[in-house]
Amino acid sequence: MSFRGPRRVALVSVHTSPLAQPGTGDAGGMNVYVWQTAQRLARRGVEVEIFTRATSSSDAPIVEAAPGVTVRNVVAGPFEGLDKRDLPTQLCAFTASVLRAEAQQRPGYYDLIHSHYWLSGQVGWLARDRWGVPLVHTAHTLAAVKNASLAAGDTAEPMLRVIGEQQVVDEADRLVANTATEAHELVSMYHADPARIDIVTPGADLDCYTPGSMEQARAELGLPSEATLLTFVGRIQPLKAPDVLLRAAAPLIERSRGGDRPVRVLIVGGPSGSGLETPSALVDLATQLGISDEVIFLSPQPSAKLAQVYRASDVVAVPSYSESFGLVAIEAQACGTPVIAADVGGLSVAVSSGRSGVLVNGHAIGDWTNALEKMIGSPDELAAMRRHARAHAENFSWEHTADALQESYSRAMASFAAAPGARVSPTGAARRASRRWRRRHRANV
């Protein structure tokens, strides 16, 4: 007999709001994931309340963002200018507000907590023990994985985060991984229990991201109609490696000058993370490479305009050094645009190499130049990839993601209810947490 799913979920997303524009600041694929899954769960009758940190004094404390989806903007620290690396100092204030919000409701108001990213997992861990409900956690990115494949000039994730992630992995009732690769990383690097891991593949909004006219899209965006357009979409930071695309495209641009189909590069996004330290780095690199006149920069775009960006492109590049999945790859393919991507993390799942795009092993510039040249120099093969791209993307919808999340939630609730001391009083939950800590402490002595 299957266990019923939750009626109301407390979704925790500390460091970035699902209402923020992806590609700005720390907003990216996780924002899209949280927002899209929250809406779809709500349409299925699950009430979703999202706790996120307020970043402006103009943020309303409570926003009815969509039917069945409420966003609570929690005041914790200064509204602006607080780096993500400094957010651990505000977790106490954030958690206190989350607990107070629940305390104003009747007992048992939330059935389950779903935390996104390790900072949120720290909050969810405490709330789980206080409320006596299960905690489901999605890491989205893992410090150990990022540190194992750092881009040149990038900064390693601190031990503070590695330890914090380990604590959340140990405490969560269920862990949601984007792919089998991520599940393996959780087991091999964080010693997670495989029996507590659910693989839930992200998706794309297949109603928004659809094939369309390249000519019309270019005209709407003011892009050159005759060019071969190679596009990068995402946060501009070393981890995402937009510089790899510029360096790889430079010789192609030079050789195409004066031809019928000159090569151009389109960069859509804004500086983020360690990229904020040198916000003009990509513009400066284009100048150094002698291709500044052939590189077009656009600010982050809302979904409808982003779909036009994909349609306008001949190829979309995802050269990241680490990627738990790669939503940009799926969105581009949903618009019928082939993708060239680094063969890392979840990109080997997101891209069907040889059919909907090409996977490149490593980040050697010569390899990327050769792969790009082969793609754009083979019109028939590129056209075939366009035809296969949409079909491949249709395997990844947010409806499928919501299906799998509901199954994970039901498993979490069933196992939590069956565990000794489940749904105990706050005092009992605190005692249970204390016993767990003492057991771990004795084991480490």
374 is in an annotated binding site: no
Question: Which residues, 6+ apart, have CB-to-CB distance to 296 below 8 Å?
Answer: 223, 264, 265, 266, 267
235 is in an annotated binding site: yes
323 is in an annotated binding site: yes
Cα separation of 356 and 378, whole Å?
A: 14
354 is in an annotated binding site: no
122 is in an annotated binding site: no
140 is in an annotated binding site: no
313 is in an annotated binding site: yes
28 is in an annotated binding site: yes
305 is in an annotated binding site: no
Length of the chain: 445
Question: Which residues, 6+ apart, have CB-to-CB distance to 299 below 8 Å?
Answer: 23, 268, 269, 270
Distances in Å between the Cα of 329 and the Cα atoms of 144, 356, 383 are 23, 10, 17
Name which of 84, 112, 131 is nearest 11 in CA terms. 112
30 is in an annotated binding site: yes
161 is in an annotated binding site: yes
394 is in an annotated binding site: no
Q: What is the largest CA-CA distance in the chain?
A: 75
Question: Which residues, 6+ apart, have CB-to-CB distance to 101 below 8 Å?
Answer: 51, 72
Q: Are 120 and 139 in contact, with CB atoms under 8 Å apart?
A: no
214 is in an annotated binding site: no
Binding residues for 1D-myo-inositol 3-phosphate: 15, 26-31, 84, 117, 141, 161
Binding residues for Mg(2+): 310-311, 313, 337
Binding residues for UDP-N-acetyl-alpha-D-glucosamine: 21-22, 29, 235, 240, 301, 323, 331
Binding residues: 15, 21-22, 26-31, 84, 117, 141, 161, 235, 240, 301, 310-311, 313, 323, 331, 337
